Amino acid sequence: MTFHYFFVLVFLFSTTTGEPTADRNALLAFISQIPHSPRIRWSASTSTCDWVGVTCDANRTAVVSLRLPGAGLIGPIPASTLGSLSSLRVLSLRSNRLTGPVPQDLSNLAELHALYLQNNLFSGGFPPEVPRLTRLTRLDLSGNNFSGEIPFAINNLTRLTGLFLERNQFSGSLPSISNLGLNSFNVSYNSLNGSIPASLQKFPASSFAGNLQLCGGPLAPCVPFFPSPVPSPFPSPGPPSGKSSKKLSTKAIIGIAVAAGVVALLALILLLFCCWSARKRGRSAKGVPKPAATAAAAGRSGDMGATSSSKDDIVAAAAGEREKNRLVFVGSGGGYSFDLEDLLRASAEVLGKGSVGTSYKAVLEDGTTVVVKRLKDVGVPKRDFELSIESLGKVEHANLLPIRAYYFSKDEKLLVFDYIAAGSLSSNLHGSRGSGRTPLDWDHRMRIAFAAGRGLAYLHGVARVVHGNIKASNVLLRPDPDATALSDYGLAPLFGPGATPASRAAVGYRAPEVVETRRATFKSDVFSFGVLLLELLTGKAPNQASISGEEGIDLPRWVQSVVREEWTAEVFDVELMRYANIEEEMVQMLQIAMACVALVPDARPDMAEVVRMMEDVASNRGAASEGDEGLRASSDDPTKPASVGRSTSTP
Ligand SMILES: *[C@@H]1O[C@H](CO)[C@@H](O)[C@H](O)[C@H]1NC(C)=O
Ligand SMILES: *[C@@H]1O[C@H](CO)[C@@H](O)[C@H](O)[C@H]1NC(C)=O
Ligand SMILES: *[C@@H]1O[C@H](CO)[C@@H](O)[C@H](O)[C@H]1NC(C)=O
Ligand SMILES: *[C@@H]1O[C@H](CO)[C@@H](O)[C@H](O)[C@H]1NC(C)=O
Ligand SMILES: *[C@@H]1O[C@H](CO)[C@@H](O)[C@H](O)[C@H]1NC(C)=O
C-alpha cells in the first residue's frame, strides 16, 4: 500500500546532502513493515536526524542510535532493515511486543555498543549473531522467551560490562565467562542447571535466583562430582567393604566427605574451565574466541591488554592446555561420545575403593552410565601412561572389561569403563549371606569360572598382558554368567617400579613368590585364579584380614589342610550342598584350583591349560555319574595338587 510512496521518498532524499540516506531508507523500510504507535511519526519533510528516537553523529551523516522503547512495536523485526544501520551504536527496542528470533542481519552492526531488547516476546535460541557484535558493552535480553543454552561464544564480547538475561527460558549450564570487566550480571529466573562457574561467583545470589537447579557460589553448594571416598582406617587395598567405614561415626564421615569434596571440587573447577574453553573452541570451526578469554580460562587471567604477539603465545598455550586436558578414547571407544566436562557434571557415586584407586559410578546428563576409576599414585610419565592405556585399549574379549577412555593431568588420572550393573563376584558371593540374597548356584559358579578363565587365557595368550590384580571384586557379573568380565587388568605398569603390583595385588590372592619378587607374572596370575576358583568352591573369602579387619583365611592352605586330614566335602560351600550330583564336578574343579595354587610357579599350569581342564570337566557334565567315586579317586594324594590337576587334564 505505502510502498509506492516510499520509493518517492527514497528518491527525493537520496539527492539531499547532509542526510544519512542509506540509514533513512533502512528506517523507513523498518517502520513501514511493523505496526507501531502513532507517536512514531517519521515525517518525510523532516530530516532523519530529527525523527523521534533517532540520533545522528555530529556531521549528521549517519544514525548512531535508535531508541524506540514502549513504541507499540508488534511482531517480528523485519529483516534487512535495522541491520543496514551500519554506524549504529545504541539500539533500544525494549518494552514492545516484538516476537520471533532476532534477525540475523543485526550481526552487521559492527559499531553496536548497547543492545536493549528486554521485555519483549522474542523467542528462539540465544541470538547467534550477538557474539559477533564484539564492541558490545551492554546486552539486555531479559524478560523475553529465549530458550536453549547460553553460548560460550559470549566470551567473544570482551568489552561487555553488563549482561542481563534474566526472566527467559535459558537452560543447560552456565558457561564460564572470563570477562574481567563484567560488573553487572543477571541470569535469574531461567531454567539453568549445574554449578556456577568460578568466574561468575562474585555476583550476588539474586543474579542467579529462580534457577531451581543452579548450585555453587552464592547459592547452595553443589554435590561434588567425585566425592572423595571415606578414608579407610586400613591402609591396604581391598574390595569395596562397608565394614571399615562403619567404624567411623556417621557425623565424622559426613564431615570428612564434605571437606574432601570441597577440596576436590576446587581442584576440579580449574580443570572444568580448561576443557570448557577447549571444547567450545573445538566446536566452532571458524570462530576463535578472544585469546584473553581462553587465557583466563587457562588460569592466566588478567592479561587483557596483551599485544598481538603475546596473544599468539597465549593462544598456543591455551591450545596446548586443551590438548593436555582431553579425555582420550581408546580402542573402539565403546561408541561413547562425551567429554571430560560431561563427566565432571555427572552425578557420581562411590562404588568402591580398590587397590589402584577409587571407582565411581557416573551417570551423565544424557543417562549414559560409566565407571570412572580415579587412579592414585600413578608413577609413570604421561607418555608411558598413554602408551600403556592405548595398548590395553586394543584388548578386546567378551570376558575382559575394556578400558574406554583415559584422562591424564598432573593431578588427576582417570580411566573410564563400561558400567556393569550386576556387580562383582565378591559382592554376589559374600554380600549379606542369607538375607534374601539368591545364592549363586553351582551352574552359575562354573560358568563364571569359565568366563573368567577364558578372559584370562586370552589376556595371557593373545594380548600378552599380565593381569596382576585378580580377585573376586574384579570379576564383574552380567545377567548372562558366560559374559562375566575381568576388570583392572594390566594396570600394574602404571604405578612404576616404586609401588609394585605386589603391594597392590590383594593379599589373599597373591602368589607366594610375588611377596619377594614384587613382580606379577603369568604364573602368579594363575595362582590368583586358583584362589578365585577355591573361593567359588568354598564360598569363603581369601585372607583379607589386613584390610577389612575381618577374620580371613589363607584359602589354599586351609583347603590343603582339610583335604590332607580327611577328604570330605567339608571344604565346599554349604550353599552348594543343596544341589544334587555336583560333587564330582566340584572335586574336579577343586583339583584344577589346587594345581593353580601350587607353591612353585613352574608347577602351575598355564591359563590355556587351565581352560582346557575346565572344558573337560564341563564336557563330562551329565555323562557317567559315578556317585562319590570321584571323591575317593582324587583323595590319593591331595598334597600334590599339581600332579592331580594335570592327570585330570590328560584325556
Ligand atoms: C565529520 O566529517 C569530517 C570530515 O568529513 C570528519 O573528519 C569527521 O571525522 C566527521 N566526524 C564524525 C563524528 O563523523
Ligand atoms: C567472535 O568475533 C569474531 C569477530 O571479532 C567473529 O568473526 C566470530 O564469528 C565471533 N565468534 C562467534 C562464535 O560468534
Ligand atoms: C515461549 O516459547 C515456547 C517455545 O519455545 C512457546 O511454546 C511459548 O508459547 C512461548 N511463550 C510465549 C509467552 O511466547
Ligand atoms: C541440565 O539441563 C539440560 C538441558 O535442559 C538437561 O539436558 C540436563 O539433563 C540437565 N542436567 C541436570 C543435571 O539436571
Ligand atoms: C536480577 O533480576 C531479578 C529479576 O528481575 C531481580 O529481582 C534481581 O534483583 C536482579 N539481581 C541483580 C543483582 O541485579
Full DSSP string of 555-602: HHHHHHHHHHH---GGGS-GGGTTSSS-HHHHHHHHHHHHHHT-SSGG
Is pLDDT at 630 greater than 60 in this prediction?
Answer: no
- For ligand 1, atom 11, the nearest C-alpha belongs to 59
By mean pLDDT, which of 116-125, 556-565, 640-649 is the weakest?
640-649
DSSP per residue over 131-160, as a string? GG-TT-SEEE--SSEEEEEPPGGGGG-TT-
Do 190 and 121 belong together in one domain?
A: yes
Q: Does residue 197 fall inside a structural domain?
A: yes
Read off the pLDDT of residues 49-83 as tens digits, 9 standing for 90 and up. Answer: 999 999 999 989 999 999 999 999 999 999 999 99
Three-state SS for 610-631 is: HHHHHHHHHHCCCCCCCCCHHH
Other C-beta atoms closer than 10 Å to the C-beta of 321 total: 23
What is the number of H-type helices and E-type strands within the chain? Answer: 19, 22
DSSP 8-state secondary structure symbol assigned to residue 48:
G
Which ligand is nearest to the Cα of residue 209, counting in written order? 5
pLDDT at 26 exceeding the cut of 80: yes
Best mutation site among 122, 123, 147 for ligand 3, i.e. most ligand atoms within 8 A of its Cβ? 123
| pLDDT for res 298 | 36
pLDDT band at 504 (very low <50, low <70, confident <90, very high): low
121 Cβ below 6 A of ligand 3: yes
pLDDT tens-digit map of 450-460:
999 999 999 99
| Domain presence at residue 285 | no
Residue nearest to atom 6 of ligand 2 (CA): 132
Q: Are residues 27 and 135 in the same domain?
A: yes
| Least reliable range by pLDDT among 177-181, 521-525, 570-574, 602-606 | 570-574
Which residue in the block uniquely carries the three cell numbers 555319574? 625
Q: CA of 645: how far to CAs of 354, 605, 624, 650, in Å?
A: 32, 9, 20, 9
CATH code, domain carrying 404: 3.30.200.20
Give yes or no for residue 310 CB within 6 A of ligand 3. no
27 and 176 part of one domain: yes
Residue nearest to atom 12 of ligand 3 (CA): 145
Nearest protein Cα to ligand 2, atom 3: 132
Is the C-beta atom of 55 inside 6 A of ligand 4?
A: no
Q: Which of 163, 184, 215 is the last residue of a domain?
A: 215
More confident residue, 309 or 361: 361
Based on the fold, state whether residues 174 and 101 are members of the same structural domain.
yes
Q: How does pLDDT run across 511-528, given as a tens digit for each residue?
A: 888 877 878 899 999 999
pLDDT at 325: 62
Grid cell 554368567 in the structure block, residue? 481
Per-residue confidence at 102, pLDDT binned at 50, 70, 90? very high
Q: Flag whether pLDDT at 180 surpasses 90.
A: no
Q: Indicate the range of 274-288, 465-479, 511-525 predicted with least confidence.
A: 274-288
Q: Does residue 161 share a domain with residue 99? A: yes
Query: Is 500 domain-assigned?
Result: yes
- Res. 575 pLDDT band, cuts 50 70 90: confident
The boundaries of the domain holding residue 127 are 21-215
Q: Say how many Å lie between the CA of residue 61 and the centre of ligand 1.
A: 9
Alpha carbon distance 313, 511 (integer Å): 54
- What's the 77 CA to ligand 4 centre distance in angstroms? 31
If one counts every other C-beta atom within 10 angstroms of the C-beta of residue 48, the result is 22
Q: Give me the mean pLDDT over the 543-563 stretch.
A: 63
Amino acid at 271: L
Distances in whole angstroms, Cα of residue 157 to Cα of each of 137, 163, 170, 556, 585: 8, 10, 19, 69, 73
pLDDT at position 315 = 44
Residue 583 belongs to a domain with what CATH number?
A: 1.10.510.10
10 Å Cβ neighbour count for 235?
8
Examine the domain organization and report whether 362 and 406 are in the same domain: yes
Q: In angstroms, rounded to a whole number, what is the distance separating the alpha carbons of residues 346 and 460?
A: 35
Could you report how far apart the first and last alpha carbons of the chain are, in Å? 101
- pLDDT one-digit tens code per residue, 416-450: 998 888 888 888 888 765 555 677 888 889 999 99
CATH number of the domain within which 155 lies: 3.80.10.10
Mean pLDDT score, 326-336 = 81
Closest CA to 84 of 43, 48, 125: 48
Domain count, the chain: 3
Q: What pLDDT is stored for residue 319 in this prediction?
A: 47
CA–CA distance, 573 with 577 (Å, rounded to integer): 7
| Atom of ligand 5 minimally distant from the CA of 142 | 5
Ligand 2 pocket (Cβ < 6 Å) reads 131-132, 134, 153, 156, 284, 287
For a pLDDT cut of 90, what percent of the chain falls above it? Answer: 38
pLDDT at residue 411, rounded to an integer: 79
Atom of ligand 3 lying closest to residue 147 CA: 5
Ligand 2 centroid to 131 CA: how many Å?
Answer: 6
User: What is the whole-number distance in angstroms between the Cα of residue 203 and the centre of ligand 5?
Assistant: 11
If pLDDT is split at 50, 70 and 90, which confidence band does 408 have? confident
DSSP class of residue 209 equals T
Q: Note the pLDDT of residue 603.
A: 92
Mutate to test the pocket of ligand 3, among 145, 149, 191 (most ligand atoms within 8 A of CB): 145
Alpha helices in 126-249 (DSSP H): 242-245
Together in a domain, 442 and 405: no
Residue 136 C-alpha from the chain's centroid: 35
Does the structure show a pLDDT above 60 at 169? Answer: yes
- Is residue 6 domain-resident? no
> Where residue 583 falls among pLDDT bands split at 50, 70, 90?
confident
Least confidently predicted of 81-90, 299-308, 335-344: 299-308
Ligand 3 neighbourhood includes 145 CB (under 6 angstroms): yes
Q: Is the shortest distance between the CB of 59 and ligand 1 below 6 Å?
A: yes
Q: How far is the CA of 129 from the centre of ligand 2 (A)?
A: 9
- The grid coordinates listed for 294 are 581462553
What's the mean pLDDT when you consider all of the chain?
76
Domain final residue pick, 419, 452, 469 = 419
Task: Starting from the CA of residue 173, give the closest ligand.
Answer: 4
Looking at residue 213, its pLDDT comes to: 83
Going from the Cα of 19 to the center of ligand 1, the distance in angstroms, rounded, reads 14
User: What pLDDT does residue 268 have?
Assistant: 53
Q: At 99, which helix (H) or strand (E)?
A: strand 97-100
pLDDT, residue 339, reads 81
- Ligand 4, atom nearest to 194 Cα: 13
What percentage of the chain exceeds 70 in pLDDT? 71
Residue 129 near ligand 1, beta carbon < 6 Å: no
CA of 109 to the centre of ligand 2 (A): 13
pLDDT of res. 492: 84
Residues 199 and 164 in one domain: yes
Q: What is the pLDDT of residue 192?
A: 94
Would you state the pLDDT for residue 301?
Answer: 33
**Minimum-distance ligand to the CA of 124?**
3
Higher pLDDT, 559 or 122: 122
193: CA distance to ligand 4 center in Å?
6
Indicate which residue's Cα is closest to atom 11 of ligand 2.
Answer: 287
Query: How far is the centre of ligand 1, averaged over its atoms, from the C-alpha of 81 (Å)?
Result: 25
Grid cell in block for residue 360: 565411581
- What mean pLDDT do residues 179-208 have? 91
User: pLDDT at position 619, please?
Assistant: 80
Say yes or no: 349 and 435 in one domain: no
Looking at per-residue pLDDT, the higher value among 580 and 76 belongs to 76
Residue 595 domain flag: yes
Centroid of ligand 3 to alpha carbon of 197 (angstroms) = 28
Ligand 2 mean position, distance from CA 133 (Å): 8
Sign, Cα dihedral of 60, 63, 69, 72: positive
Residue 264, in any domain of the structure: no
Give the nearest ligand 1 atom to 61 CA: 14
Which atom of ligand 4 is least distant from the CA of 193?
Answer: 1
Q: What atom of ligand 2 comes closest to residue 286's alpha carbon?
A: 9
Please tell me the distance between residue 145's alpha carbon and the centre of ligand 3 in angstroms: 6
CA 204 to ligand 5: nearest atom? 13
Residue by residue, DSSP assigns 311-364 as HHHHHHHHHHHHHHT-EEE-TTGGG----HHHHHHSEEEEEEE-SSEEEEEEE-
Pocket test for ligand 4, best of 126, 150, 187, 193 (most atoms within 8 A of CB): 193
Higher-confidence position of 581 and 637: 581
- Look at residue 248 and tell me if it is in a domain: no
- Please tell me the predicted confidence (pLDDT) of residue 430: 81
428 and 475 assigned to the same domain: yes
Q: Is 58 a pocket residue for ligand 1 (Cβ < 6 Å)?
A: yes
Confidence band for 249, pLDDT divided at 50, 70 and 90? very low
The whole-number pLDDT of residue 435 equals 53
Pocket of ligand 5 (CB under 6 A): 166-167, 186, 188-189, 204, 206-207
Q: How far is the CA of 94 from the centre of ligand 3 (A)?
A: 18
Tell me if 302 is assigned to some domain. Answer: no
Q: What is the pLDDT of residues 339-384, one digit of tens each?
A: 887 887 777 777 877 778 888 888 887 888 899 888 888 888 889 8
352 CA distance to ligand 4 middle (Å): 27
Q: Are residues 397 and 512 in the same domain?
A: no
Does residue 149's CB lie within 6 angstroms of at least one atom of ligand 4? Answer: no
Residue ending a domain, among 215, 237, 267, is 215
Does residue 464 share a domain with residue 380? no
| Ligand 1 within 6 A of CB of 303 | no
Ligand 4 within 6 A of CB of 103: no
Q: What is d(CA 559, CA 538) in angstroms, rounded to the nearest whole number?
A: 9
